[in-house]
Amino acid sequence: MAQHGQVLQRRDAYRWEIPTTYRPGMRVPGVIYADEHLIEQIEEDQALEQVANAATLPGVVRWAIAMPDIHWGYGFPIGGVAAMRPEDGVVSPGAVGYDINCGVRLLTTHLTDEDVRPRLEALAERLFRNIPSGVGAHGRLRLTLTEIPEVLRSGAAWAVGRGYGRPPDLGRIESHGTIPGAQPDEVSRKALSRGLDQLGTLGSGNHFLEIQRVEEIHDPHAARVFGLHHPGQVTVLMHCGSRGLGHQVCDDYLEICGRSLPRYGITLPDRQLACAPISAPEGQAYLGVMAAAANFAFANRQVITHWVRESFEEILKQSAETIGLDTVYDVAHNMAKMEEHTVDGTPMRVCVHRKGATRGFPAGHPDVPLEYRSVGHPVLVPGDMGRYSYVLVGTPVAMAETFGSTPHGAGRLRSRGAAKRLLRGVDLVDALARRGILVRAASRDLLAEEASEAYKDVADVVRASNGAGLTRTVARLQPLAVVKG
């Protein structure tokens, strides 16, 4: 394991470097954004080794990056970012992750917490019933094999076109909810089959749907632009991805890329980083199926949004338009995207892998929706179900240093097994209820894996990100009711 003081060179209060001398084969340094407190937590697993491994990938540009919420993942750290040159670089399914386009979407309402408190239990129950959660959960929609390719091509636009949402939703989703270049024909029959009945489902693990209230507003101007007006305003935050379809796509292409390594003369420190040259048939095929899975995830969150609106209508006996439930933004966590960046003064096109990291494009960037362009698009950073989440904006520093990337969440502090051992015998539903937070879960036994004790304090992550100049806090949100997988 990389040891603090032996491997890491401290650049400043929030930047640490793994020099290329740490390991033969490193093409660039690794850079970790964290303060002293977080770096001690980060050193407790193998994540720093994975940063060094990522720095060996062919075509990696400038440095391999780790966000303050970094922790160990499959091959590539969660909270990791790496950009590759298209000419000689690679694309790696493990550096995108199994849950392709796992991401978050925030909705605002015109309600206050006082409005919803009397109906909160009924709302949580209706959301739990209308939006299936849990491992292998089946949705209320069942697609056919002739329908699903259009979902994979069009993403959220498919859902809105069939009445699952409002046309303005699309303008407030990363890439308008459709990644171009999707190749549904390259998605395996097994992956397609896993997606047929999972549209509109949350899944399990750290996926959730929360009714929240605005707790604090830190940047009144940006908050107003995003529709966050005052403490006590009710919001809805969801976190989910491409479900079994995306998982199967990753599985399929880890195998395909792994088999192709000798053909391209690629040697890796960890087979979990299996990859293919971006320009090779395997690399192009992966980008096409990854886009298809990403579009499935955008459609998934769009259908869930529709059923959230229906659920509020049913319980509050008001139209969704009267309630609000407007999409603020929807942003991906796990993706590889071709983007334009300036590296050491030179504009270049790169394939940016973000795994457990999110885009945080600042004010003025052409990919920021026009209505947010004066402040930058919202960066949505969920915490855990017992504490709080954040709305941030990215900065020019993030564009200059991290390819416009920012943290995506709290980051796991304990393994699922360790969290369960720590909280054995604790009734978490009751403990949260005493703090005014309702929980509905597919399995109460699995709640310990997702308890606050399993995660870093997201406030620490945000403080380090802000300290490094990557982000700026707009607002803090508190959970009122949580639906867990």
| Whether the Cβ atoms of residue 160 and residue 166 lie closer than 8 Å to each other | yes
Catalytic residue among 71, 207, 377, 408: 408
Distance from C-alpha of 198 to C-alpha of 200, rounded to nearest angstrom: 6
Task: Determine whether 408 is an active site residue.
Answer: yes
DSSP, collapsed to helix, strand or coil, labels residue 272 as helix
For the beta carbon of residue 180, count every other beta carbon within 10 angstroms.
11
**Could you tell me which of 345, 341, 302, 343 has the C-alpha nearest to residue 325?**
302
**Phi, psi dihedrals of residue 9, rounded to the nearest 5°:** -110, 125
- The full 3-state SS of 54-69, as one line of letters, equals HCCCCCECCCEEEEEE
Distance from C-alpha of 66 to C-alpha of 483, rounded to nearest angstrom: 30
- Pull the structure tokens for residue 187: 């998605």
Distance from C-alpha of 86 to C-alpha of 278, rounded to nearest angstrom: 6
Question: Which helix or strand (DSSP H or E) is residue 139 part of?
Answer: none
DSSP, collapsed to helix, strand or coil, labels residue 216 as strand
Q: Specify the residue for token string 């995660």.
A: 455
Residues annotated as catalytic are 408
